[in-house]
Amino acid sequence: MQQAEIAKLLAGADDPGLFSAAAALTRENFGDEVYLRGVVEFSNHCRNNCRYCGLRVANTAVHRYRLSVEDVIACAGLARELSIGTIVIQSGDDFHYTRHDIARIVVEAKARADVAVTLSLGDRADDELLFWREHGADRYLLKVETFDEALYAQSRPGLTLADRLARLETLRRAGYEVGSGVITDLPGMTPEILANDLVRLAELDLDMIAVGPFVPHPATPYGDAPAGSILAAFRAMAVLRLLSPLANIPSTSALNALRDGAREQGLTLGANVVMPSLTPETVSPDYAIYPGKNAFRADARSRVEAAREAIRRVGRMPSTAVGGSKRRRHV
């Protein structure tokens, strides 16, 4: 699919055709199954100052927390009890935790339950990424947000797109299943930038791809910018399914932050993954990368069951499988 055609689809040239084709392709490759990934957000400390993120280091209003390694392992252990095939160990760029801390979490999580472990820890050193892979980490999620160098530099001060892309290549070489993604309607994004972002994402031949709408956080420089369009995010998700038929694509929590029920609707438009939070309810509201993140205040079991009910409401089946990369099976 050429970039010009993608641009037309993103502009709404054929929503019924686009959404129907994405749904059909998802069912062809994944059936009715929707994989659940239980997310443990173990620290909201971050050394970065991204202009869109509520966890940015300059935001002194956020209540910061760190879970102990033991608490993270206990949260991960819920996966077996709740029949979840993958856990995601996620934080801001917080270097308080050593390579050995993270390795211990990976090893003990896999020992307690037959799960895949995804890490989402930001820009850690290459030797650390290799170390964790050697200790059993299966996947790594590292979002790009945009491939436009100027917009990237504007949105993530002091950081470069080239470094981010190099780290994605390091992850691939290390043998991880690799995930990345973009934000639709990020302030400064144009339709041309988004179309190019989707092409670039597909060219990376990723195992996991995430796309979610921009949600403004009032304690950031982008706080007064308009919220992203849910429809634009749906179109981008559907286009990505056409470009990457075998990728695991989540319907993101950012959709529900803008409209209740939008996340489950995304499961009818190309997504095949949902990621409920396993973070203790005592701290989960503080992982506020945007307003509405972890808005459902309940224990982990209730959150997971609510996700399963939402999946069933749209005629899909919650899966207990690990849900590994189908792309690799076809290489």
Tens digit of each residue's pLDDT (9 = 90 or more) over 171-209: 999 999 999 999 999 999 999 999 999 999 999 999 999
Rg (CA), the chain: 18
Domains of the chain plus CATH, in order, are 3-323 (3.20.20.70)
Q: Could you give the percent of the chain with pLDDT greater than 90?
A: 92
Q: What are phi and psi of 178, to 5 degrees?
A: -115, 135
Please indicate if the annotation marks 50 as binding a ligand. yes
pLDDT digits (tens, 9 = 90+) for 258-288: 999 999 999 999 999 999 999 999 999 999 9
Please indicate if the annotation marks 75 as binding a ligand. no
Q: Could you give the percent of the chain with pLDDT greater than 70?
A: 98
Higher pLDDT, residue 113 or 58: 58
Please indicate if the annotation marks 133 as binding a ligand. no
pLDDT score at 143: 97
Q: How far apart are CA 41 and CA 118, in angstroms?
A: 12
Neighbours of 295 (CB within 10 A): 13
Q: Which of 114, 217, 93 is nearest to 159 (CA)?
A: 93
Q: Under a CB-based contact definition with an 8 Å cutoff, are residues 66 and 59 in contact?
A: no
Question: Please, which residues have CB within 8 angstroms of residue 178's CB and are 6 or more apart in sequence?
Answer: 139, 140, 142, 168, 171, 172, 204, 206, 207, 208
pLDDT score at 328: 63
Please indicate if the annotation marks 120 as binding a ligand. yes
Banded model confidence at residue 329, pLDDT cuts 50, 70, 90: low
Q: Provide the whole-model pTM.
A: 0.96
Q: Under a CB-based contact definition with an 8 Å cutoff, are residues 179 and 140 in contact?
A: yes
pLDDT score at 331: 41
Please indicate if the annotation marks 156 as binding a ligand. yes
pLDDT digits (tens, 9 = 90+) for 16-26: 999 999 999 99
pLDDT digits (tens, 9 = 90+) for 131-158: 999 999 999 999 999 999 999 999 999 9
